[in-house]
Amino acid sequence: MESFKAHLDKFISINDEEFASILTFFRVVEVKKKHNFMVDGEICKSMYFVVKGCLRKFFVNEKGTEQTTEFAIENWWITDTFAYERQFKSDFCIQAVEKSIVLEIDLSTQEELLRKHPVMERYFRMIYQRAYAASERRIRYLYEMTREELYVHFSTLYPWFIQRIPQYLIASFLGFTPEYLSEIRAKLRS
């Protein structure tokens, strides 16, 4: 869990004893590829920190097609924030893209963590601010960029995703069909 400690150290100052205590609030979960952490219609009880691997959040649209809205790789969090904070049924699914190790925390345990370690309030505030800013940027890119520009921007900003994540999931995230993504990639290669 040294990677989690290193991640926290980027945002807050805690000693080894505090970190050991913080870690007790999380459940370590090791899963295989395609494991579902949450499915549409379930109450969103947890949020997940990726120690190793990759998760995705998606929904199934009216045509029955999976639409990926978010990825989480090492040192990223993922949940259905709206449903998690209200303990509502989620409209999303969260699934492992790769064999993964995650830290899981539920809302009541997170509240206990924040009471015992107030410095974690600062940490989560900073994480939420960054996530919100990233979401704002993504929305702007979706409005301003052509599909080709969107792919080039994504592949330039996140080259490790292109190597690591199946192309059909990247297409889903960018709002393309896999066939259209293949056309864009072929065009860019020529």
Task: Look up the CATH number of the domain holding residue 82.
Answer: 2.60.120.10
pLDDT at 70: 94
pLDDT at 59 over 90: yes
Do the domain assignments include residue 169?
no
Give the span between the Cα atoms of 22 and 113, in whole angstroms: 7
Q: Quick check: 46 and 37 in contact, CB under 8 A?
A: yes
> What is the rounded average pLDDT of the residues 173-177?
90
Give the span between the Cα atoms of 101 and 119, in whole angstroms: 25
pLDDT at 1 over 90: no
pLDDT at 189: 85
Q: Quick check: 70 and 78 in contact, CB under 8 A?
A: yes
Do the domain assignments include residue 108?
yes
Do the domain assignments include residue 12?
yes
Q: Is 186 exposed, middle or buried (0-12, 13-18, 19+ CB in 10 A)?
A: exposed
Q: Domain range for residue 69?
A: 2-118
> What is the rounded average pLDDT of the residues 62-73?
94
Q: Strands 46-52 and 100-106: what pairing?
A: antiparallel
Do the domain assignments include residue 174?
no
- Taking residue 156's Cβ as centre, other Cβ atoms within 10 Å add up to 9
33-53: per-residue pLDDT in tens? Answer: 999 999 999 999 999 999 999
Do the domain assignments include residue 73?
yes
Calculate what percentage of the chain has a pLDDT beyond 90: 87
> What is the rounded average pLDDT of the residues 157-179?
90
Do the domain assignments include residue 150?
no
Phi, psi (5° rounding) for residue 11? -120, -35
Assign 7 to helix, strand or coil. Answer: helix
Domain count, the chain: 1
pLDDT at 160: 85
Q: Quick check: 68 and 58 in contact, CB under 8 A?
A: yes
pLDDT at 190: 82
Strand order in the sheet with 93-96: 36-38, 93-96, 55-60, 66-72
Do the domain assignments include residue 23?
yes
Do the domain assignments include residue 44?
yes
